[in-house]
């Protein structure tokens, strides 16, 4: 069996897509970009409003509902943690739209 036939988005694909979204929507033009482990909350890139917009994007893009108990700082501290959360939610029937 090949994992390439799996319809779920893998970590690398989710990370790449979310990186583009966050950089495009939330970074000033003069910023050179962010890394997977950049501290988004500490840098002020993810504010409460931006986090709400990101959650809406995850819903629209991946068809996932974000359970309220997952909307905590440890899950949104970097693109890495957000991507891992999205991949984990893809296997959670309760999160599927």
Segment (H or E) for 16 = helix 11-26
As a whole number of angstroms, the distance between CA 53 and CA 94 comes to: 21
**Domain map of the chain by residue range?**
10-25+36-95
pLDDT tens track of the chain, all 97 residues? 334 434 457 999 999 999 999 999 999 887 889 999 999 999 999 999 999 999 999 999 999 999 999 999 999 999 999 999 999 999 998 888 6
Q: What is the pTM of this model?
A: 0.88
In the CATH hierarchy, which top-level class contains the domain 10-25+36-95? mainly alpha
As a whole number of angstroms, the distance between CA 43 and CA 72 comes to: 16
């Amino acid at each position: 069996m090949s994992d390439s036939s799996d319809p779920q988005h893998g970590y690398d694909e989710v990370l790449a897509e979310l990186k583009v979204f966050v950089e495009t929507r939330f970074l000033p033009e003069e910023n050179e970009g962010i890394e997977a482990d950049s501290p988004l909350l500490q840098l002020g890139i993810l504010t409460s409003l931006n986090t709400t917009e990101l959650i809406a994007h995850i819903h629209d893009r991946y068809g996932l509902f974000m359970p309220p108990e997952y909307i905590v700082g440890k899950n949104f501290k970097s693109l890495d943690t957000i991507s891992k959360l999205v991949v984990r939610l893809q296997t959670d029937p309760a999160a599927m739209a």
